[in-house]
Structure 1
Amino acid sequence: MNGGLYRSAHAARDGEPRAESGVTLISVDPHSGGDESLPQEDVPPVGVDASDGGTARTAGNSAIMAAGSLVSRVIGFVRNALIGMTLGAGIGDAYTSAQFLPGQIYELLLGGILSSVLIPLLVRRRTADPDGGLEFTRKLLTFAVVSLGVATLLVVAAAPLITAVQSSGATSKPYRDLVTHIAYLILPIIFFTGVSGLIGAVLNVRGHFAAPMWAPILNNLVVIATCGVFIVVFGTAKGLRPEDMTGGRVALIGLGTLLGMVVQALGLLPALRSVGFSWKWRWDPRSLGLREIGKLAGWMLCYVAANQVAVFIVVRILTRVAGKGSASVLAFNNVFLLTMMAHGIVGVSVMTALLPRMSAAAAEGRYTDVSADLSRGIRLTAAALAPIAVMYGVLGVPIAVTLFQGGAYGNDAALATGAVLVVAAFAVLPLSISYLCTYAFFSLQENRTVALINLPVVAVRIGAYFALAATLDKTLSAAGMTAGNALSYLVSAIISLSVLRRRIGRLNLGVVALAVGKVLAAAAVAAALGLLVVRMLPGAGAPDGRGEALLQVLAGGTTILMAYLGTAAVLRVQEVNQVAGMIRRKLRR
């Protein structure tokens, strides 16, 4: 029930994390192995024979994907920071608006359906068909590639209309024209993103996980190289207006972004050969059971469509303030990625460990165990994310200056981004708790419930967008949209917990409330001491350059972490020790 600007992390095995530059989703697979780092009963997951090394293989796959996820997120973040430094806030806003168009359209065409419907379908056919699902997979790929190709051509042809609607809030016609020109070059990404996702799905179903996790790194490296070439050939876009972006500048940044996704898709082909899959043209749509697929995909399409409406609205609202010296689309997205990075590294690790056991327990009607696992997940996630949220809240401005300032992205733009990150601190914990609840529903095979809950959540999010946009000064628009996201995550968690309580009984909310209360108390002490230290340092509140900002991040971050751990120890927050053990075991792997 996410909000913000994102592309789905597609093409992963059910029950395993998928990482890209956006939201990480996990589907349910009772045959996936768990993460032994969590305190749990020694019960092997359904379908995994511990005696034959199934758990060890799963742990190895998890380690490969965790490493790929971490490296991909870090490099992806470097990519976004370099885009800001190369293009600046104004031109960067136009680029970011254009870049999200293929992401939105891909989600509607294939993104959510791929992870929730097509991958489980391929798994079933691989088990049931005499040829291991080979012919069915070939037919599905043929139909999907043709459909993606036709859809991409239609979308590119309609680029002026699409960008006119999304960028209509911009007061500058040159800005709207720039978004359209970049979109022409970037929209073909839809096709290659879909191909990459489909190939990744085939690999995952055949037990190959490394390539789909590492391939996005190729994409990011190409875009990073594109930024380097742009700076060498044209210099940074500092001080440039949209009308100053020549055809050469637009072509370089647009085609470089497209080339990144092309390279990502091509980078998966060797792995496809290594698993013994040979793709051949098989045009036979009638044999695919498209009506059944459509029924299965309906609720997920409802879920995705609601989210994309919110994305469309937030882009329109932030487009109105683009290029006016305030944080807008680019800053909002950079902060959203930081929020998702915290969630991906911490929240997804906990979810990956809990989901297989929750799914197995739900399948056997052991709802008390589902409740216990959900309670454990919330407590562990809160304990792990609390210090990160405090750092974002106390050190948001110096973090933004350290990460983003440079080139065409000046100090004022970095300070404005930091203010947005401070607000995002309040979204970190509700986001992960709402996702934990969503995955609990997945374990119960209640995708319909997830989609229905998402409708009022998105309604709250959109209502908050409009209300905050109308009441706040335009310079605070990005911060207001981030606050709208945080509110919707909180609403999602509350509604989900209420429905889950009726569905599976007691959720041990008293135990959860006590543990979370201790965590928040430790976080409050850490925040107070962190603020005290930062205020005594040079440039407190508004660091002028990376030197002052880095000093604040190091001193303030160390103080916050030590104060949090110390207070948690005094309050006997057991979950902190469990999280520390989790980290130590992952590092040893």
Structure 2
Amino acid sequence: MAKSRLFHSTAIVSIMTMLSRVLGLVRDVVLMGVFGAGGLMDAFLVAFKIPNFLRRLFAEGAFSQAFVPVLSEYKERRTLDEVKLLIAHVSGVLSVILLVLTVAVIALAPYVIHLFAPGFADDPLRFNTASELLRLTFPYLLFISLTAFFGSILQSYGKFAPPAFAPVLLNVCMILGALLLAPMMDTPIMALGYAVAISGLLQLLIQLPDLYRQKLLVAPKINFKDEGVKRILTLMLPAIFGVSVTQINLLLNTIFASKMINGSVSWLYAAERLSELPLGLIGVAIGTVILPSLSASCAKGDQDEFTKTLDWAARLIILVGLPASVAMFALSDVLMNALFVRGEFTQTDATNSGLALKSMSGGILGFMLIKIFAPAFFARQDTKTPVKIGIIAVFANMIFSVVFMAIFYLVKLPLHGGLALATTGASFVNAGLLYYFLHTRGIWRFGSHWRKMMAQFTIATIAMLACLYAIMPFYPTDGAVWQKIAVLLTLCIVGAIVYGAVLLATGFRPRQLKHG
């Protein structure tokens, strides 16, 4: 991929992702306002988290990281007919696995809920509602996994817009479900289950025209013995841990939170969603764009291009991730109050969600670094290193959860804040170990030019933080919604301007963000 294409593709994915995240924020505001942060909302979030977790784990996570390097190799070294045959065989095998899994989970829904949210067993209403919602939402995994598969193909051929736009449909369907369908149902929360399933099918369908135009829309064929399929499965199994540790840790938080007071799952969810705004805008976008590029560099044996691409990605990640982590911490209470306090979502819910966001915000930079460090290994078809690190990070999260919950208990703070802080700690364990092996193996390291840049980023971030704390006393906690939103936007805009201005004043120039 040409250097200019990296910037262009990143811009496309970032714009589409920003649209999706903004609509996602609107969706969450609508859901919390309509349903609140009580038991039934907790039930939906658990039921939706299971297929969504598996989507990120298998489809967008391990599967994409295993499939893209193999597809890139076929694209570079083999004929179009061989590429088509690989796509046919992979789509056939993937469809069979997903169909069997979907049927099994629908049949065993109560047992699955008991596994992922054991605390619901003491509340029959939450437990039964979650089980029924799981049956409605789980087909989403089948549709969205195939969507991710087709999206990976398009991304490998430089078509990033359709896959990046697809998540917008999920947000639109859920908003319409909450506002239009829910009032017509005996159990309103069930409307969200139907909305999720429908959105998965729509996201799948919008990929097909571009695949057809690329002459890559082929009929599935089941062949587990195909050489490419076997390689992908071999790479995929360990990659499940290596690329999706963050999701596993968040799921562990849900298991713990299900045993806490009503609302704990919803409070953690609200914090996760806000922390994912910068992660999705930059971290996911860059991680998505660089994997095909890194894979192509490896296929051609161009280590210099590989190194330059990874260094370029790291500059963009830290440029955004460092101030985003700090700003999210400082503005956590303001964000929750301005965006969510309305309808069934109370100020108490906002305070508890704000505590979770404070604890989780520090890990935003760690989450973003994982998004570029892990693909550096997968592009080299090395899945063993990330999986070992992933297992360590999962155990670290468990240990941190116990330790931080004990500390929060002693200081009389809500325990879900300790769970969020454990996720932050585990993200830095994961990112730190990934970098350690990149460095020690001579794959990539922070060069001498990073010392000055890190000093510049740090100084600008401190200036931005001082500015935010100077303006926050003017935030109208009890004001009208439009006043809260206006002051929040002012805080964000002024903070960004101060950060950029101080960065330029320290000598940093936009040309330093160029590839190479």
- Same structural fold, with TM-score higher than 0.5 when normalized by the shorter chain: yes
Q: Give the TM-score, by structure 2 length.
A: 0.85
The answer to whether structure 1 residue 317 and structure 2 residue 260 are counterparts is: no
C-alpha displacement of 1:549: 2.8
Contact 1:380 1:575 in 2 (8 A): no
The answer to whether structure 1 residue 503 and structure 2 residue 441 are counterparts is: yes
Which position in structure 1 is the counterpart of 2:267?
331
The residue type equivalent to 2:373 in the other structure is C
The answer to whether structure 1 residue 223 and structure 2 residue 184 are counterparts is: no
Contact 1:335 1:424 in 2 (8 A): yes
- Distance change in 2, residues 1:96/1:571 (3 Å): same
Contact 2:405 2:418 in 1 (8 A): yes
C-alpha displacement of 1:151: 1.5
Which position in structure 2 is the counterpart of 1:519?
457
The answer to whether structure 1 residue 97 and structure 2 residue 46 are counterparts is: yes
- Distance change in 2, residues 1:554/1:73 (3 Å): closer
User: Matches of 1:119 and 1:166 in 2, distance apart?
Assistant: 30
Q: How does 1:339-488 map to 2 (within 5 A)?
A: 339-348=275-284, 374=310, 377-442=313-378, 444-473=380-409, 476-488=414-426
C-alpha displacement of 1:355: 6.5
| Equivalent residue in structure 2 for 1:133, among 83, 101, 112 | 83
The answer to whether structure 1 residue 262 and structure 2 residue 201 are counterparts is: yes
Which position in structure 2 is the counterpart of 1:568?
503
Contact 1:97 1:315 in 2 (8 A): yes
Moved more, 210-219 or 549-558: 549-558
Which position in structure 2 is the counterpart of 1:13?
none
1:11-54 CA distances to partner (integer Å, 9 max, x unpaired)?
xxxxxxxxxxxxxxxxxxxxx333x4xxxxxxxxxxxxxxxxxx
- Distance change in 2, residues 1:319/1:576 (3 Å): farther
User: Matches of 2:498 and 2:351 in 1, distance apart?
Assistant: 26
- Distance change in 2, residues 1:552/1:478 (3 Å): farther
Which position in structure 2 is the counterpart of 1:179?
130
C-alpha displacement of 1:225: 0.8
User: Matches of 1:228 and 1:389 in 2, distance apart?
Assistant: 33
The residue type equivalent to 2:118 in the other structure is S
C-alpha displacement of 1:360: 7.3
- Distance change in 2, residues 1:169/1:466 (3 Å): farther
The answer to whether structure 1 residue 87 and structure 2 residue 35 are counterparts is: yes
Which position in structure 1 is the counterpart of 2:432?
494
Moved more, 216-225 or 508-517: 508-517
C-alpha displacement of 1:152: 0.7
SS of equivalent residue, structure 2 residue 81: coil
Contact 1:401 1:543 in 2 (8 A): no
1:155-198 CA distances to partner (integer Å, 9 max, x unpaired)?
11111101012221244232222211211211222222223233
User: Matches of 1:255 and 1:421 in 2, distance apart?
Assistant: 29
Contact 1:371 1:508 in 2 (8 A): no
C-alpha displacement of 1:352: 6.8
- Distance change in 2, residues 1:534/1:63 (3 Å): closer
Moved more, 543-552 or 139-148: 543-552
| Equivalent residue in structure 1 for 2:64, among 112, 115, 135 | 115
User: Matches of 1:428 and 1:266 in 2, distance apart?
Assistant: 32
The residue type equivalent to 2:364 in the other structure is V
- Distance change in 2, residues 1:67/1:129 (3 Å): same
The residue type equivalent to 1:303 in the other structure is G
C-alpha displacement of 1:372: 6.5
Which residues of structure 1 form unaligned runs of 5+? 1-31, 37-54, 235-245, 583-589
Which residues of structure 2 form unaligned runs of 5+? none
C-alpha displacement of 1:450: 1.9
User: Matches of 2:452 and 2:255 in 1, distance apart?
Assistant: 41
User: Matches of 1:499 and 1:120 in 2, distance apart?
Assistant: 20
User: Matches of 2:88 and 2:446 in 1, distance apart?
Assistant: 48
C-alpha displacement of 1:100: 0.9
Contact 1:108 1:305 in 2 (8 A): yes
Q: Give the TM-score, by structure 1 length.
A: 0.75
- Distance change in 2, residues 1:180/1:469 (3 Å): farther
1:489-520 CA distances to partner (integer Å, 9 max, x unpaired)?
22233323332222118834654344323422
User: Matches of 1:502 and 1:533 in 2, distance apart?
Assistant: 44
The answer to whether structure 1 residue 556 and structure 2 residue 504 are counterparts is: no
C-alpha displacement of 1:121: 3.6
- Distance change in 2, residues 1:277/1:556 (3 Å): closer
| Equivalent residue in structure 2 for 1:298, among 234, 237, 240 | 237
Q: How does 1:27-176 map to 2 (within 5 A)?
A: 32-34=1-3, 36=4, 55=5, 63-90=11-38, 91-107=40-56, 110-125=59-74, 128-129=78-79, 131-170=81-120, 171-176=122-127
User: Matches of 2:135 and 2:124 in 1, distance apart?
Assistant: 17
Which structure has more helix as a fraction of its residues? 2
Contact 1:568 1:576 in 2 (8 A): no
The answer to whether structure 1 residue 251 and structure 2 residue 187 are counterparts is: no
When the two chains are superposed, the root-mean-square deviation of aligned CA atoms in Å is: 3.5
1:75-111 CA distances to partner (integer Å, 9 max, x unpaired)?
2332232222221101222211110111234455544
- Distance change in 2, residues 1:509/1:104 (3 Å): same
- Distance change in 2, residues 1:397/1:467 (3 Å): same
- Distance change in 2, residues 1:517/1:362 (3 Å): farther
Contact 2:239 2:387 in 1 (8 A): yes
User: Matches of 1:275 and 1:370 in 2, distance apart?
Assistant: 27
C-alpha displacement of 1:314: 0.9
Contact 1:430 1:493 in 2 (8 A): yes
The residue type equivalent to 2:18 in the other structure is L
Which position in structure 1 is the counterpart of 2:471?
533
Contact 1:384 1:576 in 2 (8 A): no
- Distance change in 2, residues 1:63/1:432 (3 Å): closer
User: Matches of 1:476 and 1:271 in 2, distance apart?
Assistant: 49
